[in-house]
Amino acid sequence: MISTIIFDIGGVLIDFDWDGFIHRMFPGREELISELNDAVWGSRRWDRLDAGDEPEKVFASIIAHDPKHEAELRKVFENVGDTLKKRPATPEWLRDLKARGYRLLYLSNYSRYVMGKNPDVLDFLPLLDGGIFSCDVRMIKPDREIYEALAEKYSLNPGECVFIDDLARNVQAGIDFGFRGIQFITFEQVQTDLNNLLKEE
């Protein structure tokens, strides 16, 4: 029987729109955007920020990959909070699940740097019963250790948990750990899939 629902945050409880953000910042400059995307996301460089490394250390690593675009990359770093937007339906969804008796947790790859750039998008956190930000434990999804850390912290029975994430690799890692898993594709889809799963239990 499912007792606990675990949510990713970016891409699930809030919008994370990197593609829109980078295109708004550098409209029509597709070659530049491709190079910036490779610098930021290649070889999981940005993941080190989510894992709790010092921001300037992470930024230096990213810039070293593409030093000719340091000015543009610095602009991206400074404005990265604009990638995040509230999802108006999130608080109602969480309140409904709480009213139905489920414990709600979060498990999110997130950095204190990005939190500081747009803290208001996390105003729903008091509706949850706790969770783990990757930067605070220096682990990141989909590494098994972060799922273990959440289970240990909250004395979870994995078989009684469902985990929702927008990235298939993170969902699969949760399933491999013993959670039930749902990939977020659209808000309507994830609500339907979750309600169907809960009805089965």
Q: Which of 65, 83, 101 is the last residue of a domain?
A: 83
The reply to whether 62 and 93 lie within a common domain is no
C-alpha span between 141 and 107 (Å, rounded): 8
Task: Give yes or no: residues 72 and 43 share one domain.
Answer: yes
| pLDDT (average), residues 171-176 | 98
Query: Is residue 114 domain-shared with residue 51, that is, in the same domain?
Result: no
Q: What is the pLDDT of residue 44?
A: 87
The pLDDT of 36-48, averaged and rounded, is 91
According to the model, what pLDDT value does residue 153 have? 98
Do residues 152 and 91 both lie within one domain? yes
Based on the domain organization, do 78 and 128 belong to the same domain? no
Q: Do residues 119 and 179 both lie within one domain?
A: yes
Specify the pLDDT at position 75: 97
Residue-wise pLDDT for 58-91, tens only, equals 999 999 999 999 999 999 999 999 999 999 999 9
Give percent of the chain with pLDDT exceeding 90. Answer: 97
| Rounded Cα distance, 183 and 131, in Å | 19
Q: What is the CATH number of the domain that holds 178?
A: 3.40.50.1000
pLDDT higher for 119 or 200?
119
> In the predicted model, what is the mean pLDDT of residues 28-35?
96
Structural domain boundaries enclosing 189: 4-15+84-200
Residues 6 or more apart whose Cβ sits within 8 Å of residue 113: 49, 55, 80
- Strand partners for 14: 10, 86
Average model confidence (pLDDT) for the chain?
A: 96
User: Quick check: 96 pLDDT over 90?
Assistant: yes
Q: What per-residue confidence (pLDDT) applies to 42?
A: 86
Q: Are residues 58 and 99 in the same domain?
A: no
Question: Does the pLDDT at position 158 exceed 90?
Answer: yes
Beta-carbon contacts of 64 under 8 Å, excluding residues fewer than 6 positions away, are none
Last residue of a domain, one of 56, 83, 110: 83
Is the pLDDT at 15 greater than 80? The verdict is yes
Q: Where are the alpha helices (DSSP H) in 42-143?
A: 47-50, 55-65, 70-79, 90-99, 112-117, 134-137
Instruction: Say yes or no to pLDDT of 167 above 80.
Output: yes
Is pLDDT at 200 greater than 90 in this prediction? no
For the residues 122-149, what does the mean pLDDT come to? 98
Are 69 and 126 contained in the same domain? no
Pair (28, 119) in one structural domain:
no
The count of structural domains within the chain is 2
- 40 φ, ψ (degrees, to nearest 5): -75, -45
Q: Which two tokens stand for residue 155?
A: 């004395």
Report the pLDDT averaged over residues 36-42: 93
Same domain, 64 and 94: no
Confidence (pLDDT) at 4? 98
Domain boundary among 83, 99, 118: 83
Please check whether residues 70 and 100 belong to one and the same domain: no
Question: Is the per-residue pLDDT at 201 higher than 80?
Answer: no
- Residue type for position 60: A
158 and 171 housed in the same domain? yes
